[in-house]
Amino acid sequence: MLLAVLLTVRMFCLAQAETGTNAAISRNLEIFNDIYKQLEIYYVDSLSADTVIGWGIRSMLRQVDPFTDYYPNENDEELRQMATGKYAGMGSIIRFSRKEDRAVISEPYEGTPSQRAGVRAGDVIMAVDGKDVKGMGTPKVSEMLRGEAGTTFELQVKRPGEKELRAFKITRETIQLPQVPYYGIVRAGVGYIFLTGFTDGASREVRQALLDLKSQGATSLVLDLRDNPGGALNEAVDITNLFVPKGRRVVETKGKLASTNREYNTAMEPVDTVMPVVVLVDGGSASSSEIVCGSLQDMDRAVIMGARTYGKGFVQMIRELPYGGNLKLTTSRYYIPSGRCIQAYDYRHLNEDGSVGTVPDSLTHVFHTAGGREVRDGGGIKPDVEVQPDSLPSFIYDLVESDAFFDFATRYAAAHPEIAPAGEFRLTDEEYGQFVQFVKDEGFSYNRRSDEVLKLLKSVARREGKWEDVEPEFAALEAKFRSDDTESDLLRFRKKVEPYINDEIVHRYYYQRGGVLQQLVDDPCMERALEILADPAKYRALLSGPQKP
C-alpha cells in the first residue's frame, strides 16, 4: 500500500513539473512573439525578420553550448562541407590583408583548379567576375569564389612586385579536402601519419596510409592528431578499428532520449593489433580525436603523448527545420571503454564573469584501463607521456597576428625559384637578417606586457604609500626592459621565431604536405615519440598496469 502511495505521489510531482515546464515555454514564446510584433509595428525603422529573429535564435543557442548551432537554408553548403569535407570552388585558402584592405590568397591546395591555373600565395584579390572586392571580408569573398561545379569565373589579382594585374579563367570543381595530407617513413621502421579531421572517408585514407607504410617496412607508427578538431564519430570508431580486434566497444553515447543511447563496436578485421603506436595530441585535439586516443589508451593499445586534450565529450546530430534550415544540436555525451566521459567544460554553470568553468582535478573520478592503469574523467585525455610545448615570448604572438611572416614569405618566393626539400629548408644568416630588416621597415610594433604589468605595480605602490621607497628599483627595472627593441628581440629569439617563417616559406613550394614535414623539424614531441618507439621495454612499461603482489 505504502509503495503504491509513493508511486502515485511521484507521478503527480512529475506531472506537475512537466506542466510547469510547458507553461514556462508557452509563456516565454508568447512574450517573444509579442515583442517582435511590437518592434515591427512601432520601431522607428523597418526591420528584417530574418536578421532580427536569426540573431535571437543564435543568442538563445549561445546559452546552451558552443557546438549547438542554427544553419538557415542559405548556409546548408557550410554544413555539408563540415560533414563531408567537400565543396565546389577553386581550392584555395584566403586571408584578409589589413594593409591591402582585401582578401589575399593564403595557399592554393595542390592539384586544384587555382593551383593548376597559376594562382599563387600572396596574390591580392582585386575582383571576382568583374566585381571589386575591396573592403570585403573573407566570408563574403569565399562565397563569391564558390559555386556550382563546372561553372567558370574570372579571378583578377595583383601579384606583389608586378605593375600589371593578372586575370585567370577558373572552372570550379568539387574539392575534397585531404584528411591525411602527409604520411611517410620518418626513421627506419617508423611510419608517420598526420590526420587533420574526421570527415567522410577519413578512415579510408588512414587505412590506405597504414597499409602503404607497412609495405615500405614500417614496424611501428606515430599517429599525429595534434590540432585535430574531430568530426564524424563513426570515422573515429573505424580508425580505432585499424588497431584493435573486431567486436570491441569503442564508445557509448547516452542522452535524454533512449534513441540517442547507442554502443559503437569495431566491425571490421583490423590492419595490425600488435604494431607499437604512439598518438600525438594537444589542446587542439578534440571530439573524435579524443575518442581515438582515449579508446586506444583505455585498451592499453597505444602510448598517448603530448599535452592534455580539449575535453569535448558531447555528441551532436543534425535535425531538419522548416524552410530548409538545419539545427546541429548536442543530444548525448559519449563514454569511452573505461566508462569515463572526458567532457571538461560545464556550460550549464557559468562563472560570475560569464566564462565557462572546467571540472577541477579534485572532482574528477578514477577509472581503469584494461590493464589496470588509472585514468580520469572530466578533463580531456591526459597523455601517458606529457610533453609541453616551449613557451614563446609574447611578441611572437603579435608577429603571427600581423602579416609579417606571410608578406616576407611572398617576397622570398618571388626571388627564389626553388628551395631545399621540405624538412631540410633553413634560412641562412643573411636571409634571416633580411627578415629582421623587413620587419623593421614594415614598422612592426607590439605592446610589451611587461610595460602593462609595471604600470599596474607602480599604481599599487603609490596607493599603498610605498612609491618613494621603491622608485629607484622601478627606474632600473624599466631601463632594463626598455633596453630591448624589436631587432634585438628577433635576434635573441631567432630559434623560436625562425620555425614560423620557415613554415610559411615551405608552404609556397611544397603546399600542405611540405608544411607538415617542415613542422616536424626539431619537434620535441616527435623526438620523444621516436625515442620511446626505439626502446621496446620502455614502450611496454608505459602500457603496463600496476604490479600485482
Residues acting as catalytic residues: 287, 298, 312
Assigned C-alpha cell, 153: 569565373
Mutual angle of helices 429-441 and 404-415, in 10-degree steps: 130
Contact 193, 223 (CB under 8 A): yes
Rounded CA-CA distance 283/229 in Å is 10
Rounded CA-CA distance 422/292 in Å is 29
Rounded CA-CA distance 91/72 in Å is 24
Report the b/e string of 503-516 with b at 16+ CB within 10 A. bbbbbbbbbbbbbb
Rounded CA-CA distance 168/248 in Å is 52
Rounded CA-CA distance 529/539 in Å is 10
Q: Within 13 Å, how many C-alpha atoms sit on residue 255's CB side?
A: 17
Rounded CA-CA distance 430/143 in Å is 42
Contact 302, 243 (CB under 8 A): yes
Contact 97, 404 (CB under 8 A): no
Instruction: Give, as one character, the DSSP assignment of residue 322.
Output: G
Rounded CA-CA distance 545/372 in Å is 5
Contact 88, 175 (CB under 8 A): yes
How many C-beta atoms lie closer than 10 Å to residue 146's C-beta? 18
